[in-house]
Amino acid sequence: MKLWVGLGNPGAKYAGNRHNIGFMALDRIAADHGFAPWRGKFQGSLTEGKFGSEKVLLLKPETFMNLSGQSVGEAMRFYKLVPDDVTVFHDELDLAPGKVRVKTSGGHAGHNGLRSIHAHIGADYHRVRLGIGHPGHKDRVAPYVLSDFAKADQDWLDDLLRGLSDGAPDLAKGDTGRFMNAVALRTAPPRSSTSPKPSAASQEAKADPADAPVKDDRSPLQKLVDRFR
């Protein structure tokens, strides 16, 4: 059994915030893969489903961000899970918008949700770091993460959420490489291998100069002399 945790703040006021991208990720996964209805449990919202034979619990702590560890710890104790069973989806200031990285253990880098989880279960859990970009100065971080995504962000955000959902079955199997590939196919799809055929004019322009006819600049007398050589 796996426990996937999405970080965010509860309530309509925060629903569209950059800080709530972890909630958004779990909502998309649950909707796309036919998970059970959300229900209140462990000081949060919980749903469950399966990817093949792997049962996965999705948890959105509703304790507010800086107390997220309370909800996570309670769920882990109830299901007798260890940190290696836990994956946390969270916003990441140090990644460009739309970029994703998977990481296991390490520091919390000042993220209040991770800080709380560290305090309750330690650092040896997995993270899916979801890039939201940085406002440029640390004094602007709080209002930035607690502001909604801009309209200009909606396209890449939708591609990212779709990619996370596409890769969810691979993540459940522990195949982070295939998971990241699924995300990349949505956020940075390969260019088409087909290209328009070159026009006759462009082909002519690219013809080898050695194939062009040579202009004959000889005088009539020189031509006559050359005929009898």
Among 19, 111, 118, 126, the one annotated catalytic? 19
- Each domain of the chain, given as residue ranges in start order, spans 2-187
Question: What predicted TM-score, i.e. pTM, was given to this entire model?
Answer: 0.82
pLDDT at 228: 53
Q: With contact defined as beta carbons under 8 Å apart, do 72 and 43 qualify?
A: no
State the Cα–Cα distance between residues 11 and 166, nearest whole angstrom.
Answer: 27
pLDDT at 204: 46
State the Cα–Cα distance between residues 50 and 65, nearest whole angstrom.
Answer: 27
Give the chain's residues under pLDDT 70. 191-229
DSSP 8-state code for residue 42: T
pLDDT at 198: 52
State the Cα–Cα distance between residues 125 and 4, nearest whole angstrom.
Answer: 10
Q: With contact defined as beta carbons under 8 Å apart, do 86 and 72 qualify?
A: yes
Residue 118 annotated to the active site:
no
State the Cα–Cα distance between residues 68 and 98, nearest whole angstrom.
Answer: 24
- Domain range 2-187, CATH architecture: 3-Layer(aba) Sandwich (3.40)
The contacts of residue 70 (CB under 8 Å, 6+ apart) are: 43, 61, 63, 116, 120
The contacts of residue 156 (CB under 8 Å, 6+ apart) are: 97, 98, 187
pLDDT at 190: 78
The contacts of residue 203 (CB under 8 Å, 6+ apart) are: none
Residues 37-72: tens digit of each pLDDT = 999 999 999 999 999 999 999 999 999 999 999 999
Tokens of 65: 């961000």
